[in-house]
Chain A
Amino acid sequence: MTLVAERTHAPHPLRGEVVHGFGPWAGAAVLLTLAIALAASLDQWQGGWAETREQLHTAATLLGAPLALAAGCRHGGRERRRRTEELMASAARGPLARLLASALPLALWVVAGYAGAVVLAWLATWYCSMGDGPYPVAVLTDAVVLASAVLVGQVVGRLVAWRLAAPLLAVGAYAVLGVLSYDGQDALGHLSPVVDGTTDDVPVWWQPVAMTVWTGGLAVTAVMAHAARRRRFAVLPLAAAAAAGALLVQTDNAGLWHTGALADRQVCDTSTTPQICVNARYGDLLPQVTDALSGLTGRLEGVRNLPVRFEDRPGEPRRDEAQLPMLAPIGRSVVRGELTEPRRYAWEAGMALYGRAYCSVEETRDWDPVDNAVEHYLAPIPKQAYFDEQLAEGSAADRDRLEARLAARARLEAMGEAERRAWLSEYFATVDRCDGRGVPTL
């Protein structure tokens, strides 16, 4: 009766493996490593879901995978260190069941550590999200990569009786992944789980599947070749991994990645002149951008010969559009869902309209006061007073230049509303020319 009662309450053998030992430490190490790496570059990804995906992916594969390999390798040598190999060999369960009972709880902890980092990163981005949404497929793929690394490490740890095997495996994996990722355009680079597209890109539907089969297949091959009762069956996962690997290698970048549907869309405010469009990935930022540009767009109301809108799509703007100043990569103009310098952003937007960036200084010297007056009226550079002081303290030519600028600014501001609108309309008809023909005088 007592025996029956004990059987009923006996914990599952896997429970001890999951709760005790090296697993929780490995999970904590993965969580801490990823958290430090993510926290160090917080400004560059927080608020952008694609940026968060990219940062998580890089951290998980470049840092987490070597760590998972090392953790698995160390765990694989456990029976040897405890000198319980012979005892374990006498157990009723076969070698495959014993290996999995040891490796899977560790894989669970490593993936749990990664999941903890994912939750923290997603919470951090959700808090100041600018649009878009999380990318769970990338997370699942990376979780498979980490679990596979634990299994491969476990097999290596069982085979190699060397104290330095684990750190050597980790540093070696780090170097190999780094070299493969250094030039991700290479065909072999596609085999690296680290390689990713840009933040505008998403993988084709089968890329995560192929990566999962490639890494998971290699891990299952290693496990079966080491511990399965019929080792020849290891050929099956090896064949699957080879097929997936061949598919990845033979496909070029354009076949693996394409611009995401959201990155190709825009969210627009059509009430302004010009209209303001923000990439749909940062759609929630539109009110802030509209607000930052309100001074510029307010003064351009009623002015003709302007671009129809500020656009924010990948690639060059169309003929009747101007490029919205860059929001991405985040960390410069935008940090944690906030425009860092709205006045500077407005100046950059103004320069996109009339900057004559393609003209040389010599070409634009003659009508520099006119350009400067327009810039000063519509959206002055935040350090305008400083630049004026520099000219005032400079050579005689600089002082003459400043005097001409100040006079032009005064004349533009002294105009009546209707007169200025007409003048600006005439001016904007000439902003795409460098020869100065038709630039109205002030």
Chain B
Amino acid sequence: MTALLGARTATPLAGPLLYARSRAVPRALVVLLASAGLAVWAAHGLDAYVDPSRRVPVVALTPLFTSAVIGTSLYTASDELDRTAVRPWWRLRAVHLLTLSALTAGLLSLAVLGHPSVFGPPAMVRNTLGTTGLTAAAAALLGARLSWLPAFAYVSAVYVGAASAHGRLVTVWAWPMQPDGGAGAWAAAAAFVVGGGLYVVRGARP
């Protein structure tokens, strides 16, 4: 009874904060910040002014790892209990995913400022959205703890295969390796909308 009264008098933020803690979001934020710092260090150590394509490992691999961070933060240890709640979860899920994605895209873009025409912030934002979308879809279909696997398999395969690929559709299916702009951005945006939407509607598979 005391606990119930206490809950009633809590601040309006108590719900979202509890939600964030239950998903280990604070720890995910720390890892995202550390990843962004590492990306800044790596991007500046690669001497991109000599050859802008030297940034490709940073632009491809950092969003891949941050998407894994976001994906695993979608895990809940109390899935069955959550599903019995009266309140709809989709708002919290959407805020969770959008906030972390936007924050990550912004932070990682700092790593590749300069040389705006190739592998700059637009490419980083595109890859962050695309990989996060794939990871969110995997969280809904495979489970949050294994959500990093499909994105990792796809991006790493494209990383090796796309270097020598030709054809009209290469800018679409090889979007993680494309310079700024182009059709790849649309493919990544579609991945984010579809994957994110799937997660927001269905939640992560236990």
Contacts and interface: CB of A to CB of B under 8 A. Distances in A.
Interface of A: 25, 29, 32-34, 36-41, 43-44, 58-59, 62-63, 66-67, 70, 74, 81, 163-164, 166-168, 170-171, 174-175, 178, 331
Contacts of B13: none
B157 A178 contact: no
A59 B166 CA distance: 19
Contacts of B15: none
Given A29-B153, A74-B145, A167-B72, 17 more contacts: A36-B154, A36-B158, A37-B160, A37-B161, A40-B157, A40-B160, A40-B164, A66-B152, A67-B152, A67-B156, A70-B152, A74-B146, A167-B68, A171-B61, A171-B65, A174-B61, A175-B61
- List the 4 closest pairs (A to B, CB-CB), nearest first: A40-B161, A167-B68, A36-B157, A167-B148
Main secondary structure of the interface of A (DSSP, over half): helix
Contacts, number: 89
A171 B165 contact: no
B156 A66 contact: yes
Contacts of A66: 152, 156
Interface string B59-99: 00100110011001001000000000000000000000000
Contact of A41 (B68, B149, B153, B161): B161
Contacts of B164: 40-41, 43-44, 331
Given A67-B156, A164-B68, A40 B162 contact: yes
Contact of B153 (A33, A40, A163, A331): A33
Nearest to A44: B164
Contacts of A164: 31, 68-69, 72
Contacts of A33: 153-154, 156-157
A168 B148 CA distance: 10
Contacts of B24: 163
A178 B64 CA distance: 16
B153 A32 contact: yes
A163 B72 contact: yes
Contacts of A175: 57, 61
6 contacts: A37-B157, A40-B162, A41-B165, A67-B156, A81-B145, A164-B72
A44 B162 CA distance: 12
Contact of B156 (A43, A63, A81, A163): A63
Contact of A170 (B57, B146, B152, B166): B152
Which residue, of A34, A36, A39, A167, has the highest number of chain B Cβ atoms within 10 A? A167
A155 B20 CA distance: 31
B163 interface: yes
Contacts of B75: 163
A36 B161 CA distance: 7
